[in-house]
A and B are shown apart, each in its own frame.
Chain A
Amino acid sequence: MKFLCVECDEPMKLHETRAPDDSGSLSVRFGCPSCGRDIAMLTNPWETEVVSSLGVKIGPSGEPEEAASRCPFSGVVQEMQVKEMEAERASPTAPTGPQWTAEALARLEGIPEFVRPMARQGIEHYASSNGHAVVDEKILDEARQRFGM
């Protein structure tokens, strides 16, 4: 979808994206680089779903990855158990598992969000079962060798 400033005959640029509110509507603001006129595209929930189901990110080009990843359109699955696990992990009474080194954590955070909590749980179980208090890259490589093809 593209937007054209009819008066200037200039394609408009995406300036800002606001995540869907409770009604499921996404707000995307475009501006004309020539005359400065702003417009906003406001979607209904079904239109929001169309874009979301493509698994793409909506946001100004050049936007930092961190901001782009906050966009709702990451196309990932959120499964009920994942949410429950995250809630349990956030609980102050949750049992503490092995600690993660920064390098190992970076590898974990590189994989898709929807499998991350399960992967984390599995690795922590493997580490604990083998007497490791810290998950580092060596443990990940060991597990990869053990379970991976």
Chain B
Amino acid sequence: MKSYADIVGDGGSNVLDQVLSQRAAIADALAGVRHVLAVGSGKGGVGKSTLTMALARALAGRGRRVAILDADFNGPTQAHMAGLEDTPWVPGEGGRLALPRLEDDAVGAAGGRLGVVSLGSLLGSAQELSFDTVSHGEQHTWRSTREFAMLGQLLSTVEWGDLDHLLFDLPPGAERTVQYAQFFAGALGEGERGEGRVSFVMVTLPSDLSHGVVARSLTALSAIGAPALGYVENMAGYLCRDCGEVKPLFPEAAEGLDAPCLGRVPFDPELAALCDRGWPATEPGRAEAAGAAVAAVERVADRLDAVLPPGPPPGMPTGAVTPTGEASSPTAPGGQPLETES
């Protein structure tokens, strides 16, 4: 009697081929993306989405072409922070959607661009995301699989074009971080783990509890070889308006995390208000309130400069001749020499 492996195809639907086609469509749509950065947190409410937007703005301010995919489908906030809640999703060519972008004057004068894809543009602020289901009352069983199917559909549908960085604002949950690492490995189609194009940054509070959850994520990432650039500690004390000193908000964690600390950001009500409006923290006169936060974000941006894969701008093959007749060489966007990580 024939075994499973003896039979070619499945008799009709070719489900495996469909799954492979889905992955190929994602890889094709992301072919112009030089680097993917996933920003995770483990626990919710620690400032992951805010850091993602701040980092994206900082990178765009350096002249990069950047996009954010708000992968927190159940709590999307990026459309609000980007001011794109009412921006229409425009059908482009070939069944793809134009990548909604911020106005040029919102990302500085360096020629950078910032696009944001967030279900917050589709869902009302109090609306839940729901899926059609036939197993009434059992939706929780397949919820995660459905969300990853939708993620794949979004990735293969949007006109990402040539990007220097695609930032993923991950949903909370330690298990989510490693799920996404595995998703990238399968979907990006280069190397077992998508080496060279994917990095993670974690956001935590300074408490033992939050550190513990992020430590689990880091361990899981390390186990599968996914690179973590480091972590940012948010709400690391608060800025006392009376004495100007940073005082503790939480009991400090007994132990650090097994990853580089990229910055510590104290809580500041004025900064929090700015963040809700999408981080216009670099506006003139705002730098004092946001000083530590800006420094942390710039440090992460520096790290991203260092890990940006060497090579020509997206879409231009290595060794290609530029319009000026010069052979392309490893440079960071904006023409700055690229520092490779030692």
Contacts and interface: CB of A to CB of B under 8 A. Distances in A.
Contacts of A144: 90, 92, 98
Q: Tell me whether chain B's interface is mostly helix, strand or loop, or mixed.
A: loop
B146 interface: yes
A4 B4 CA distance: 9
Interface residues of B, number: 62
A125 interface: yes
B9 to A, nearest CB: 8
A75 to B, nearest CB: 5
Contact of B134 (A20, A118, A125, A149): A20
Interface string A88-107: 00000000000000000001
Nearest to B113: A149
Contact of B123 (A46, A49, A81, A108): A81
A51 B141 CA distance: 13
Contacts, number: 190
A3 B4 CA distance: 9
Given A123-B88, A147-B90, A3 B153 contact: no
B127 to A, nearest CB: 6
Given A24-B136, A61-B14, A149-B100, A78 B131 contact: yes
A148 B7 CA distance: 46
A112 B155 CA distance: 11
Contact of A111 (B9, B87, B91, B100): B91
Interface of B: 1-2, 4, 7-15, 18-19, 22, 65, 67, 86-101, 113-115, 121-124, 127-136, 138, 141-142, 145-146, 149-150, 152-153, 157, 159, 161
24 contacts: A2-B7, A14-B10, A14-B11, A15-B12, A45-B135, A49-B141, A55-B22, A58-B15, A72-B132, A78-B130, A81-B122, A81-B123, A81-B124, A107-B93, A111-B97, A112-B153, A118-B89, A122-B90, A143-B88, A148-B90, A148-B100, A149-B65, A149-B67, A149-B99
